[in-house]
């Protein structure tokens, strides 16, 4: 938006525009690189333009109000009275020239014709006065036409601006308004914009006519800050790790309409990266802290094979909790109130007895 009218507040040179593609969109950056190109010196300033353009546009909308235009019309009326006074003074100069020319004419007419030297001198004075009258009339007419044109243009501009004061925000914010039209509107009202980048960015706006405004903006965020995930999302992930695996956490967050710092839906890999980046305790460690056992530890306590432990988990004879999305589990602590080994042996005998009973029933039905 400020191409050609943005000034570096450090060295005073005009800043140029360089474009970058960010997120598939063309983004402007204002750069003070004239001395770098001509003399090989480092770049003086480098300011992203999106934030600057938005701030200047908002200031422009706030400045173009009906109240400000009423003040402009009052100033215009004062200028009109000043123009009338100047016209009166210039008209008096024309009348004085005419009076002096008429006085020279009467002196010439009264001279004795026989006195040729005096007559020639008075005639020359009369001709000079006539030329002065002509010059005064031409000067008067020229100023009068110039004042009339200037006044007419000011009146037209004031009338158009008064109507534009109500439509300007709509026109400026309309997405169908081409950028070149916004540039034209901006240059009608703003002379130049000076940028100074420090801990903050100072934007000094100089309007047509000499009025100035200054605005302070925060420094634009770096790339990693723009991709920063909301802290509330990190807290939610930390809480969900107590009950769910990373894949299920991603599903829950997506169902709530939450997105990652890059604006993408969550998946298992993103949850894992965020967990590592923010130092969140893995689900495996959380379950181990609660006393959960591995399948090998359970198999050793029950004096059975690891495959038997898996079978009992699938048969819901053991309570287990998945600690990842690969089908790996940790098991709740066993009942230490009685010999767990014999309890499971008893359960195994019951299962065998039930199986034998079922086989006998099937055999009787077959014989029948």
Token representation of residue 115: 């006195």
Bridge partner residues of 194 (DSSP): 7, 204
- Measure the CA–CA gap between 144 and 131, rounded to whole angstroms: 20
Query: pLDDT-based confidence at 35, cuts 50/70/90?
Result: confident
* Higher per-residue confidence, 251 vs 160: 251
Q: What is the pLDDT of residues 169-206, one digit of tens each?
A: 777 777 787 888 888 878 877 888 999 888 888 899 98
Answer whether 321's CB lies under 8 Å from 330's CB.
yes
- Measure the CA–CA gap between 187 and 2, rounded to whole angstroms: 9
Asked whether the CA dihedral 114, 118, 124, 130 is positive or negative, the reply is negative
Largest CA distance in the chain: 174
Answer whether 127's CB lies under 8 Å from 71's CB.
no
* Higher per-residue confidence, 174 vs 223: 174
How are beta strands 329-331 and 320-322 bridged, if at all?
A: antiparallel
Q: What is the pLDDT of residues 283-311, one digit of tens each?
A: 999 999 999 999 999 998 888 899 988 88
- Measure the CA–CA gap between 28 and 183, rounded to whole angstroms: 14
DSSP 32: -
Answer whether 232's CB lies under 8 Å from 253's CB.
no
Q: Which residue has tokens 């008429």? A: 102
What distances in angstroms separate CA 134 from CA 94, 217, 332, one per listed residue? 9, 60, 114
* Higher per-residue confidence, 54 vs 345: 54
Bridge partner residues of 17 (DSSP): 30
Angle at 35 (CA atoms; ends 30, 41), nearest 5 degrees? 105
Token representation of residue 113: 């014709």
Q: State CA 228 to chain mean position distance.
A: 17
Q: What's the mean pLDDT in 219-228? A: 65
- Measure the CA–CA gap between 55 and 218, rounded to whole angstroms: 11
- Measure the CA–CA gap between 214 and 56, rounded to whole angstroms: 10
- Measure the CA–CA gap between 256 and 253, rounded to whole angstroms: 5
- Measure the CA–CA gap between 10 and 175, rounded to whole angstroms: 34
Q: Where are the domains of the chain?
A: 6-65+183-218, 68-170, 229-280, 288-368
Quote the pLDDT of residue 73: 55
Answer whether 309's CB lies under 8 Å from 269's CB.
no
Asked whether the CA dihedral 40, 44, 48, 54 is positive or negative, the reply is negative
Q: Any idea which of 22-26, 312-316, 321-325, 339-343 has the lowest mean pLDDT?
A: 339-343
Half-sphere exposure of 165 (CA within 13 A, CB side): 16
Q: What's the mean pLDDT in 313-321? A: 88
- Measure the CA–CA gap between 187 and 181, rounded to whole angstroms: 10
């Amino acid at each position: 938006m400020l191409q050609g009218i943005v000034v570096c507040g450090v060295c005073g040179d005009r800043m140029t525009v360089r474009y970058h593609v960010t997120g598939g969109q063309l983004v402007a950056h204002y750069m003070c690189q004239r001395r770098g190109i001509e003399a090989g010196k480092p770049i003086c300033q480098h300011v992203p333009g999106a934030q600057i353009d938005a701030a200047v546009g908002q200031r422009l909308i706030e400045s173009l109000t009906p109240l400000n235009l009423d003040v402009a019309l009052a100033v215009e009326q004062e200028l009109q009275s000043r123009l009338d006074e100047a016209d009166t003074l210039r008209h008096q100069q024309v009348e004085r020239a005419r009076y002096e020319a008429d006085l020279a004419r009467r002196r010439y007419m009264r001279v004795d014709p026989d006195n040729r030297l005096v007559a020639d001198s008075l005639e020359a004075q009369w001709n000079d006065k006539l030329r002065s009258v002509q010059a005064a009339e031409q000067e008067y007419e020229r100023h009068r036409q110039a004042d009339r044109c200037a006044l007419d243009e000011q009146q037209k501009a004031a009338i158009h601006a008064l109507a534009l004061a109500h439509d300007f925000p709509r026109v400026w914010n309309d997405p169908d308004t081409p950028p070149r039209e916004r540039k034209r509107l901006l240059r009608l009202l703003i002379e130049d914009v000076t940028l100074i980048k420090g801990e903050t960015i100072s934007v000094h706006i100089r309007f047509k006519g000499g009025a100035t405004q200054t605005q302070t903006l925060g420094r634009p965020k770096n790339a990693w800050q723009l991709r920063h995930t909301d802290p509330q999302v990190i807290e939610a992930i930390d809480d969900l790790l107590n009950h769910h695996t990373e894949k299920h956490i991603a599903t829950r967050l997506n169902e709530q309409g939450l997105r990652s710092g890059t604006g993408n839906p969550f998946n298992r890999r993103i949850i894992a990266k965020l967990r590592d980046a923010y130092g969140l305790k893995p689900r495996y460690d959380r379950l181990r802290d609660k006393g959960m056992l591995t399948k090998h530890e359970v198999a050793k306590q029950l004096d059975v094979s690891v495959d038997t432990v898996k079978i009992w988990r699938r048969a819901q004879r053991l309570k287990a909790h998945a600690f990842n999305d690969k089908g790996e589990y940790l098991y709740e602590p066993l009942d230490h109130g009685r010999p767990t080994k014999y309890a499971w042996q008893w359960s195994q005998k019951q299962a065998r007895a039930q199986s034998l009973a079922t086989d006998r029933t099937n055999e009787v039905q077959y014989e029948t």
